[in-house]
Amino acid sequence: MALLPILHFPDPRLEKVAAPIEHVDDEVRRLAADMAETMYAAPGIGLAATQVDVHRQLIVIDTSEAQDQLITLINPRLTGQSAVTQEYEEGCLSVPGIYDTVERPAEVEVEALGLDGKPFRMKADGLLAVCIQHEMDHLQGIVFVDHLSRLKRNRIVSKLRKQQKVS
């Protein structure tokens, strides 16, 4: 297994739209394992392939306290969402040190392929619903700061560009 480098906003590669995975093979399972290792090491509760510069529809998530409930979603598709919304202060491994509130549907239903290549459905609420939507956004080239006002987003871009110049 290997730790993968994570792209940092505003890297334009974070704006790429991920392609569906046609075959769930050993290469995909290895990428999923490397992404899980990278997520746990960061530490984080989710990671999308886009963030490690692989533009394929693959997400890993673990929102459990003990970090022992890994969920892998391949080609995830939103099949339902609640009208009721929730606000959550989100963070992102690609936007280090920045946290801000995003409003999203409180409950979602998702269909995806598992590591065995078989389709499954899951319902989520609370933090898991937030994280699924945040990671699915990454696969569409959307970062959580894109949900903030233009003013806030521009301030974050300037701050991170300055930090990236000195580091």
- Is 18 a residue that touches Zn ion (CB under 5 A)? no
Site for ligand K1U contains 134 (CB under 6 A): yes
Residue 33 Cβ vs Zn ion, minimum distance, rounded to whole Å: 20
E strands of the chain, at which residues?
46-48, 58-61, 71-81, 85-90, 100-105, 107-113, 119-125
Residue nearest to Zn ion (CB): 92
User: Three-class SS of residue 58?
Assistant: strand
DSSP state of 147: G
27 is catalytic: no
User: Rounded to the nearest whole angstrom, what is the least distance from the CB of residue 58 to ligand K1U in the complex?
Assistant: 13
Member of 90, 112, 156, 160 binding ligand K1U (CB under 6 A)? 90
- Is 124 an interacting residue with respect to Zn ion (CB under 5 A)? no
| # residues contacting ligand K1U (CB under 6 A) | 16
Least distance from ligand K1U to the Cβ atom of residue 129, Å: 10
90 binds, among Zn ion, ligand K1U, none (CB under 5 to 8 A by kind): ligand K1U
B/e letters for 74-101, b = 16+ CB within 10 Å, e = fewer, are: bbbeeeebeeeebebebbbbbbeebebe
User: Is 45 a binder of ligand K1U (CB under 6 A)?
Assistant: yes
**CA 64 to CA 61: how far, in whole Å?**
9
Q: For residues 81-100, which are near Zn ion according to CB under 5 A?
A: 92
Q: Report the half-sphere exposure of 166 (CA within 13 A, side-chain side).
A: 5
Return the amino acid letter for 18. A
Active-site positions read 135
